Amino acid sequence: MPFQALTGEALADRLAEAVPDSVERADGDCVWVEPSQIAITAQFLRDDPGLDFQFLNAISAVDFIDSFDVVYHLTSFRQQHKGVVKARLHGRESLSLPSVYEVWRGADLQEREVWDLMGIRFEGHPNMKRIMLWEGFDGHPLRKDYL
Amino acid sequence: MPIRTEPMTVNVGPQHPSTHGVFRLRITFDGEEILEVEPVFGYLHRGTEKLAEERNYVQVVTLTDRLDYVSSMINNQAYCLAVEQLLEVEPPDRGKYLRTIAAELQRIAAHLMGIGFFLQDLGTLGTPLMYCFRTREKILDLFEMLCGARITVSYLRPGGVFADAPEDFWPALDRFLTDLPGELSELEQLILENEIVMVRTRGVSTLPLDMAINSSVSGPVLRASGLAWDWRKAEPYDAYDRVEFDVPVAQNGDNYDRFWVRMQELHQSARIVRQCVEQIEPGPVRLDLPLVLRPEPGREAYGRVEASKGELAFYLFSDGGISPYRCKIRSPSLINLTVTEHLLVGWKLADMIVTLGSVDINMGEVDR
Amino acid sequence: MNCVLAEDNILHGTPLLRWVYELAGLFLPCWLSYFIAGFVIMFILVNAVLLGAAVFVWTERRLVGRLQNRVGPNRWGPFGMFQPIADLLKLIVKEDLIPQGADKIAFVAAPIIMVATAILMLAVVPFAKNTALADLNVGVLYVLAVTSLTSVAILMAGWSSNNRYALFGAARGVAVLISYEVPVVLCLLGVVIVAGSMSLADVVTAQAVPFILVQPLAMFVFVAGTSAELNRTPFDVAEAESELIAGYHIEYSGIKFGLIQAAEFGGVVTASAVIATLFLSGWAGPASNYIGWLWLLIKIGVVAFLFIWIRATFPRLRIDQIMAFAWKFLMPLSFINLMAVSLEVYFLRDSSGALTTTDLWIMTVINLVVFAVCIPLFGSLIRDKVRPAQLQPTARATPGATVQQAGGEVT
């Protein structure tokens, strides 16, 4: 069984069944998930035997000026596939997203990094502090308006 | 009558010989035993991701050198793969082989560094470290022949490599590969079965497999916990689908196993280089791409390699401009540190140093 | 004026002191010439130890360099021999810092005490026939007393520095020193029993067969114990460069640091001299009446080389393992050695209590057998003590592991 990438549609189908109202849209190789549902979705992604995303590769955030994308890259060792899940947050101020810390411990430092550099808070993270910069640093340097 | 004791908080780092750079741990000790650990990062934060947004696609290659500065070739490789995914191109065959050779030599160098400092942390006076550095120097000499630089190589480019290897590179590489087994066996005889190394590292700071996976740990640390997962096998890039190699796995996930897995990977890397040298054929080494690359807007790429420390990936997002709109670096060193607390709490001060050495972090990559 | 050292004076057995005393006594009052004689002895001692330390530093750095495929210091003087002098000059001109919050008196006194112990130890070692600077009739006891002073100095240095790493180092150092004192004393008892005297000169004369053969167990325990007391790998937990940066002397700089280094390396030289005297028959050897000093120097060199070699090879043990090694391994061994030697002496000695060379050879055979049995036996016992139980078999490689196999292994 070769290693393959799950398409956004395939992921969206599975998610729509299990977690209603979670999928915003699917396109190409990724699926957009309703931000408030991300933690529940993550739980399902990890525990569903068909998806079995045990491994969280990376959490990235992209600044699109009027919105932010948070990107989760996932891998399943047993099922030999990978998938991409995204959540889009609108606006620029006081952004927040449920933390997936309880699902994947690996999110610990990465969510802190996203908060530090992009300014997206993760609700439910036990230690939501800055990581690279010091507490009290003004602004979030990876944002496009930080010059 | 019980003796009254008091916990004591000590700053280990950022200036400490064994924290492998400017890593800082605030540790609360009860005597020698560790009660609490709080890692503090950021002393080497240079904002690489932000800098990448200001440079064009080729210029970013030089930034990647400075991430994990002991495995620059592999960093280059991960970035170039990501850019090639954005552009939907593939380098020519000779370029692929040269990349593979460079990356595997770099892996040997980086692992030797990791092993050497791990043993240094165990308290050797530098003898194994010097053994490791003897071999590493030869690899750096080879890199110097390839691209003129030893550490910050910037040898790889999107679409291939910067230049073909010079004529005298091949005999030198051949000599190196001939000498390597002897040098490695000297090191192994000195240290691999050493009783003190065994009692100091076996069963210390074990990392169970389920926790390793859940904590996104990758690379030799993950393999030492018992999962034979290697991105070179899972998602072969460059020439890895044309060579044969084994994935060393250990079972206990303790300090010894992490060290052991690295020792075995040295042999596998040498094996890959040998096969590449046999298979490589003349031809172009680099695609004829424009100097200033402009991928299509809205495209994204996740270029991933098995670096010496684990899964190194560049997540690139293109807006059609000449520089990446977003360049996120998935750094294995940082994410492997997720398990710091689990590995250290309950062990002694001396074990802490050794465990940090066995996880093999590089602060250039942790802080970026 | 004519000054003659009284027969019952403790230093009567020291010809050099007596000679200087009587010579100076021709011109000076007796109390002053006694002082001068003592001063001459001290002068020789201090310079011997410091020079020995310098030579040893150079030898160690060059040798370790050889063992590690590098050159070592080779710039200053022939083969870089003046390197220690250059280092010393550098240390003297460096700023001598005393950290804020340090206990000043203890902080300054600690390096001095350390050097003093290293120097004092050499006083009782006979360099050749009748040349001990102070031929004490309780020489062995004196050596033990002086070495145990080091632990006080280490505690002073660590405590007064007002640094937590120094405190760690001091706590470890003292724990190790006190633990290792016990087996060392016990195995020296064996030496004293066979020699029938505590004077080091008598110990040398008693070694018709070197005690390394007569009591190999005692030699082994003593070398291990001394190596721990000297803070050398694999027992260098008190300094532990990779863990505690420098341990108890982390805050020292300038000449104080130089003194600590001198004490450390001088300590190795003096300890080698003591080992050579106690177990390698000291100055005895062919033509020892003329070149006894040369034999002693050669033996010191051999022992010092052993220390250097061990240091360049081994990693460091953890503190609890070092303790286990002392109490669970060296202690039983030194008890066994003491029992064996006592019984042998009890049955072999003649009516006057003396042992002949034949007796020594008989003891050699018996004790070598004891050595060959005990070391593997207790070695395997201690191994189970310090190794964690219930580990899976050693790591393995998966030949040709494919991704499929990998996926199947996740539990």
- For the stretch B146-172, pLDDT in tens is 888 888 888 988 888 888 889 899 999
Q: Nearest residue of C to residue A77 by CA position? A: C407
Say if CB B128 and CB C242 are below 8 A apart.
no
| Residue B130 with chain C: CB contacts under 8 Å | 68-70
Q: Which of A86, A109, A125, A137 to probe by mutation at the B interface, max B CB count within 10 Å? A: A109
pLDDT of residue C284: 79
Q: Which B positions 61-100 lie with beta carbon below 8 A of chain C? A: none
Q: Which structural domain, as residue segments, surrounds residue A46?
A: 4-95
pLDDT of residue B142: 92
Domain assignment present for residue C9? The answer is no
Is the pLDDT assigned to residue C305 strictly greater than 60? yes
Quote the percentage of chain B above a pLDDT of 90: 18
Say if CB A38 and CB A117 are below 8 A apart.
no
- The H or E element spanning position A90 is strand A81-90
Q: Which structural domain, as residue segments, surrounds residue C93?
A: 39-386
- Distance from chain centroid for Cα C208: 24
Specify the residue for token string 């003292």.
Answer: C174
Chain C contact present for B236, CB below 8 A: no
Mean pLDDT for B313-334 is: 90
Q: Nearest residue of B to residue A29 by CA position? A: B300
In sequence order, which residues have a C-beta less than 8 Å from that of residue B158 and are 6 or more positions away?
B57, B58, B61, B80, B83, B84, B87, B89, B289, B293
CA distances from B173 to A54, B139, B170 (A): 41, 9, 5
Size of interface A-B (CB pairs under 8 A): 80
Distance from CA of B199 to the nearest CA of C (A): 5
| DSSP summary character for residue A77 | T
C63, with CB counted inside 10 A (0-12, 13-18, 19+), is middle
pLDDT of residue C386: 60
Give C213-227 pLDDT, tens digit per residue: 888 888 888 988 888
Chain B contact present for C408, CB below 8 A: no
Say if CB A74 and CB A82 are below 8 A apart.
yes
Domain assignment present for residue C396? The answer is no
Mean pLDDT for A121-144 is: 86
Give the confidence band of C387 by pLDDT, cuts at 50, 70, 90: low
The Cβ-side half-sphere exposure at B206, using a 13 Å CA radius, reads 13
| Residue A54 with chain B: CB contacts under 8 Å | 213-214
Give the confidence band of C388 by pLDDT, cuts at 50, 70, 90: low
Is the pLDDT assigned to residue A145 strictly greater than 60? yes
- The H or E element spanning position C66 is helix C30-67
| DSSP summary character for residue C397 | E
Q: Which of C64, C164, C400 sits opposite B10 (nearest CB)?
A: C164
Q: Which of A47, A57, A81, A118 to probe by mutation at the B interface, max B CB count within 10 Å? A: A57
Q: Which of C314, C318, C397 sits opposite B351 (nearest CB)?
A: C318
Q: Do A57 and B234 touch (CB under 8 A)?
A: no
Mean pLDDT for C179-190 is: 88
Q: Which of A4, A55, A80 to probe by mutation at the C interface, max C CB count within 10 Å? A: A80
Is the pLDDT assigned to residue C71 strictly greater than 50? yes
pLDDT of residue A1: 63
Is the pLDDT assigned to residue C410 strictly greater than 50? no
Domain total of chain C: 1
In sequence order, which residues have a C-beta less than 8 Å from that of residue C304 and are 6 or more positions away?
C56, C59, C268, C269, C272
Segments in C68-103 forming alpha helices (H): 83-93
Is the pLDDT assigned to residue C1 strictly greater than 60? no
Give the confidence band of C181 by pLDDT, cuts at 50, 70, 90: confident
Chain A contact residues (CB < 8 Å to B): 3, 54-58, 60-63, 71, 73, 77, 80, 84, 104-110, 113, 117, 131-134, 141-142
pLDDT of residue C171: 87
Mean pLDDT for B185-193 is: 83
- Residue C12: CB atoms within 10 Å: 13
Q: Which of A57, A80, A117 sits opposite B313 (nearest CB)?
A: A57
pLDDT of residue C10: 66
Mean pLDDT for C372-397 is: 65
pLDDT of residue C401: 42
Q: Which of C233, C318, C391 sits opposite B348 (nearest CB)?
A: C318
End-to-end CA separation in angstroms for chain C: 96
- Residue B15: CB atoms within 10 Å: 11
Give B127-143 pLDDT, tens digit per residue: 889 999 989 999 999 99
Mean pLDDT for B201-220 is: 86
Q: Do C410 and A1 touch (CB under 8 A)?
A: no
Is the pLDDT assigned to residue C395 strictly greater than 70? no
Q: Which B positions 133-172 lie with beta carbon below 8 A of chain C? A: 134
Quote the percentage of chain C above a pLDDT of 70: 90
The Cβ-side half-sphere exposure at C303, using a 13 Å CA radius, reads 29
More confident call, A10 vs B174: B174
pTM: 0.86
Give C343-352 pLDDT, tens digit per residue: 888 887 777 7
**Residues B348, B332: Cα–Cα separation, whole Å:** 25
Lowest-confidence region among B222-226, B248-252, C286-290: C286-290
Q: Nearest residue of C to residue A1 by CA position? A: C404
User: Average pLDDT of chain C?
Assistant: 81
User: Average pLDDT of chain B?
Assistant: 88
Q: Do B45 and A132 touch (CB under 8 A)?
A: yes
Domain assignment present for residue A90? The answer is yes
Say if CB B215 and CB B339 are below 8 A apart.
yes
pLDDT of residue C13: 65
Q: Do B47 and A60 touch (CB under 8 A)?
A: no
In sequence order, which residues have a C-beta less than 8 Å from that of residue C377 and are 6 or more positions away?
none
**Which of A49-53, C58-62, C367-371, C407-411 has the highest mean predicted lDDT (pLDDT)?**
C58-62
**Residues A104, B98: Cα–Cα separation, whole Å:** 37
Give the confidence band of B197 by pLDDT, cuts at 50, 70, 90: confident
Is the pLDDT assigned to residue B320 strictly greater than 50? yes
Domain assignment present for residue C359? The answer is yes
Distance from CA of C407 to the nearest CA of A (A): 4
Specify the residue for token string 């700023």.
Answer: C95
Is the pLDDT assigned to residue B253 strictly greater than 80? yes
More confident call, B43 vs C381: B43
Specify the residue for token string 């005999």.
Answer: B171
Is the pLDDT assigned to residue C331 strictly greater than 60? yes
Chain A contact present for B175, CB below 8 A: no
Which one, of B18, B6, B9, B8, lies nearest residue B352 by Cα?
B18
pLDDT of residue C397: 45
Domain total of chain A: 1
| DSSP summary character for residue B301 | E
Domain assignment present for residue A126? The answer is no
Q: ipTM of the assembly?
A: 0.87
More confident call, C153 vs C3: C153
Mean pLDDT for B66-73 is: 89
Q: Do B17 and C245 touch (CB under 8 A)?
A: yes
- Distance from chain centroid for Cα C83: 24
Say if CB B251 and CB B257 are below 8 A apart.
yes
User: Average pLDDT of chain A?
Assistant: 85
Domain assignment present for residue C305? The answer is yes
Is the pLDDT assigned to residue C396 strictly greater than 60? no
Q: Do A105 and B49 touch (CB under 8 A)?
A: no
Q: What domains are there in chain B, each with its CATH number?
A: 42-333+353-367 (1.10.645.10)
Is the pLDDT assigned to residue B108 strictly greater than 90? yes
pLDDT of residue B289: 85
Q: Which of B119, B191, B234 sits opposite C403 (nearest CB)?
A: B234
pLDDT of residue C408: 39
pLDDT of residue B315: 92
Total length of chain C:
411
Give the confidence band of B78 by pLDDT, cuts at 50, 70, 90: very high
Give the confidence band of C384 by pLDDT, cuts at 50, 70, 90: low
Q: Do B328 and A58 touch (CB under 8 A)?
A: yes
Which one, of C223, C232, C230, lies nearest residue C183 by Cα?
C223
- Residue C209: CB atoms within 10 Å: 18
- Residue C234: cis peptide before it, omega within 30 degrees of 0: yes
Residue B356's identity, in one-letter code, is: L
